[in-house]
């Protein structure tokens, strides 16, 4: 009898999920993942904001400017020392977190993230933000959302291609719950992290963004991150200043990326706790002069959007925030880079905003227009995510009239950053600076989306090497494509069924040794049922074998062989 090891409904669901088109089940999982990620992100925000309200004067969430100078100096140092001690004791070598870590785990580890990383990111980023380090919360939100999806998939023993999709769902949930921008979350997940646009990933990720956004809206009662009115460009003549804004934003983003890369490269020889402590000292010194650089800085961004800050102060804030964030991120503080990019972009826009009034008579755009476009331009250029940045500023304003000037500034800034200054994405830069490579190609991208189990051949029989002629005839009556041979020392070999048939026709021996018959035999290596086709081809290459057997639990919860996978089957899957 041919082998059929899939015996219960949960295994059949896993087998279905290993296919590239398991849309309905993935959609339900995406909805659940978004809900879980939304709760995690809400808890993180509550921890940070309640702690800030408790320690900062006036109960303001980011009122670091009201702290006495001594506390502005000491607070980041204490935070850096605490982070250094936590990572020294618990990290076990895990020092790269945030979005770069998510991307690296997707490329090389099928999206598997650990509970250790989840806890380090949750409490590490909270300590970093509360203690005034110049980092954002969006990177930690993305990591926490992605880790929630990954851990959910691992707990359910889902195939790795489905875990990858859940990581994308968590990523979208993180951005969606941060800004109340569900569409920007979807675009960011697909454009930056997943790097693919397919229906089977698009719909679950959209559902995750919606469910996470719903959780955030319910808990924070629709509270908006930025104070933005409905705004529009005053005149098409101002496009020349939008163009100038794109040039300045691209230059600022290149300086931002370059300084982080430089500091990270120059300090890699330092121990991690020493780097964190050093970051605390440097941020403390900067905060003595420019307290606005402490924390995420969204209170200052709102002031810029409302046109409340002068030209000279904006220049100081621009340079100080670039330096402060480069110090924090470059020295390994576990925070995000998106929030600071928005701060830098707002400052750039605020600097450009007065210029149209010096040239044109009559009504010109409010400062908030240029600040908002600057936010999108620096975000799009520094992260190399132009579409996500444009979508974000559209959702923040709920105003489609921002699209055309926003597109112009974001495209110009991205070109200046990448083509004029030769800077890649901030996330790629951080990975390379910490010694982690990042490479992908279309073939591997396709193979990662498909579970190996969906293409395994289950038309096989498993037999001992010594076989009687009558037993061989009974086996061949089942018309198996493959004969899986088990030797005396538990070694396994694979023989085409037609080779056994040919030997029976040519020989009259009563006893057959299938390991010595003149036939084609393949060496085998094992592969877990959750693996993707990318893992399968890597296993074939590393093991120098010709085929793989896929194993999973049987009804009695013992390991058993579920199917056979050859290199030619993998190639046919890619063509398919």
347 within 8 A of 314, measured Cβ to Cβ: yes
pLDDT of residue 518: 86
Each residue's pLDDT tens digit, 176-195: 998 888 999 999 999 888 87
Q: Domain spans of the chain?
A: 9-227, 240-433, 450-575
According to the per-residue pLDDT averaged within each range, which of 31-35, 391-395, 489-493 is highest?
A: 31-35
Per the prediction, the chain carries an average pLDDT of 88
DSSP state of 512: E
Residue 60 binned pLDDT confidence (cut-offs 50, 70, 90): low
| CATH superfamily name and code, 240-433 | Clc chloride channel (1.10.3080.10)
What's the rounded Cα separation, in Å, for the pair 346 and 304? Answer: 7
Each residue's pLDDT tens digit, 422-442: 998 888 888 887 766 666 666
Look at residues 331, 350, 340, 186 and name the one whose alpha carbon lies nearest to residue 253: 340
pLDDT of residue 438: 64
Higher pLDDT: 92 or 415? It is 415
Q: Specify whether the backbone of 307 is left (phi greater than 0), alpha (psi in -120 to 50) or beta.
A: left
Mean pLDDT of 448-477: 86
Q: Cα 417 to chain center, whole Å?
A: 22
Higher pLDDT: 287 or 61? It is 287
pLDDT of residue 19: 74
Residue 229 binned pLDDT confidence (cut-offs 50, 70, 90): low
> Does residue 395 carry a pLDDT above 60?
yes
* Pick among 3.30.70.2740, 3.40.50.2300, 3.30.460.10, 3.10.580.10: CATH of 450-575: 3.10.580.10
Tell the CATH topology of 9-227: Clc chloride channel (1.10.3080)
pLDDT of residue 59: 65
Block residue for tokens 């908006």: 224
What's the rounded Cα separation, in Å, for the pair 572 and 570? Answer: 5
> Does residue 296 carry a pLDDT above 70?
yes
β-strand pairing of 482-486 with 492-496: antiparallel
What's the rounded Cα separation, in Å, for the pair 538 and 545? Answer: 11
Look at residues 125, 131, 127 and name the one whose alpha carbon lies nearest to residue 101: 125
Q: Would you say the CATH fold of 450-575 matches that of 240-433?
A: no
Higher pLDDT: 40 or 492? It is 40
Higher pLDDT: 109 or 4? It is 109
Look at residues 142, 193, 140, 134 and name the one whose alpha carbon lies nearest to residue 330: 134
137 within 8 A of 337, measured Cβ to Cβ: no
Look at residues 326, 318, 303, 336 and name the one whose alpha carbon lies nearest to residue 245: 318
Each residue's pLDDT tens digit, 481-494: 898 888 777 788 88
Mean pLDDT of 506-530: 84
> Does residue 528 carry a pLDDT above 70?
yes
According to the per-residue pLDDT averaged within each range, which of 329-343, 503-517, 542-556, 559-573 is highest?
A: 329-343
What's the rounded Cα separation, in Å, for the pair 349 and 409? Answer: 11
pLDDT of residue 33: 96
End-to-end Cα, the chain, rounded Å: 30
pLDDT of residue 227: 66
Ordered DSSP codes for 398-429:
T-GGGHHHHHHHHHHHHHIIIIIS----HHHH
Of the ranges 381-390, 411-420, 471-480, which one carries the lowest mean pLDDT score?
Answer: 471-480
pLDDT of residue 1: 42
Token pair recorded at residue 376: 């999108």
pLDDT of residue 232: 66
């Amino acid at each position: 009898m041919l082998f059929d090891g899939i015996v219960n409904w949960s295994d059949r669901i896993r087998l279905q999920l290993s296919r590239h088109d398991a849309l309905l089940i993935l959609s339900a999982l995406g909805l659940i993942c978004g809900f879980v990620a939304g709760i995690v992100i809400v808890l993180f925000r509550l921890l940070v904001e309640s702690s800030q309200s408790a320690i900062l004067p006036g109960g303001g969430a980011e009122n670091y400017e009201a702290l006495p100078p001594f506390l502005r100096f000491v607070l980041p140092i204490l935070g850096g020392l605490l982070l250094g001690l936590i990572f020294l004791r618990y990290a076990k070598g895990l020092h790269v977190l945030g979005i770069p870590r998510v991307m690296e785990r997707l490329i090389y580890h099928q999206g598997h993230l650990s509970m250790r990383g989840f806890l380090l990111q949750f409490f590490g980023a909270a300590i970093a933000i509360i203690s005034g380090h110049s980092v954002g919360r969006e990177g930690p939100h993305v990591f926490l959302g992605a880790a929630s999806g990954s851990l959910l998939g691992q707990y359910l023993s889902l195939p790795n291609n489905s875990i990858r999709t859940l990581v994308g769902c968590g990523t979208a949930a993180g951005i969606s719950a941060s800004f109340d921008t569900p569409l920007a979350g979807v675009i960011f997940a697909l454009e930056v992290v997943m790097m693919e646009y397919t229906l089977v990933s698009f719909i679950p990720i959209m559902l995750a963004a919606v469910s996470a956004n719903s959780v955030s809206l319910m808990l924070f009662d629709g509270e908006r991150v930025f104070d933005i009115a409905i705004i529009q460009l005053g005149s098409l003549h101002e496009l020349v200043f939008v163009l100038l804004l794109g040039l300045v934003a691209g230059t600022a983003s290149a300086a931002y990326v370059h300084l982080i890369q430089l500091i990270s490269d120059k300090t890699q020889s330092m121990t991690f706790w020493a780097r964190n402590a050093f970051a605390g000292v440097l941020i403390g010194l900067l905060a003595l002069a420019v307290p606005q650089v402490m924390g995420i800085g969204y209170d200052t961004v709102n002031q810029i959007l409302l046109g409340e800050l002068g030209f000279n102060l904006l220049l100081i804030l621009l340079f100080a925030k670039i330096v402060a964030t480069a110090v924090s991120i470059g020295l390994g503080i576990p925070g995000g880079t998106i929030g600071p990019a928005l701060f830098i972009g707002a400052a750039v826009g605020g600097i450009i905003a007065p210029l149209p009034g010096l040239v044109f008579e009559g009504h010109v755009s409010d400062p908030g227009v240029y600040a908002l476009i600057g936010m999108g331009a620096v975000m799009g250029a520094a992260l190399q995510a132009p579409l996500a940045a444009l979508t974000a500023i559209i959702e923040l304003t709920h105003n489609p009239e921002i699209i055309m000037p926003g597109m112009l500034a974001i495209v110009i800034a991205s070109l200046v950053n990448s083509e004029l200054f030769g800077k890649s994405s901030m996330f790629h830069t951080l990975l390379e600076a910490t010694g982690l490579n990042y490479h992908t190609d279309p073939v591997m991208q396709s193979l990662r989306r498909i579970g190996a189990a969906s293409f395994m051949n289950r038309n096989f029989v498993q037999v001992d090497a010594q076989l009687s002629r009558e037993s061989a005839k009974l086996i061949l009556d089942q018309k198996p494509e493959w004969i899986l041979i088990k030797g005396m020392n538990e070694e396994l070999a694979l023989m085409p069924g037609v080779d056994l048939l040919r030997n029976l026709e040519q020989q009259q021996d009563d006893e057959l040794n299938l390991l010595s018959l003149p036939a084609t035999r393949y060496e085998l290596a094992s592969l877990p049922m959750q693996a993707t086709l990318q893992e399968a081809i890597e296993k074939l290459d590393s093991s120098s074998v010709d085929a793989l057997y896929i194993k999973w639990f049987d009804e009695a919860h013992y390991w058993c062989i579920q199917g056979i996978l050859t290199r030619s089957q993998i190639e046919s899957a890619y063509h398919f």
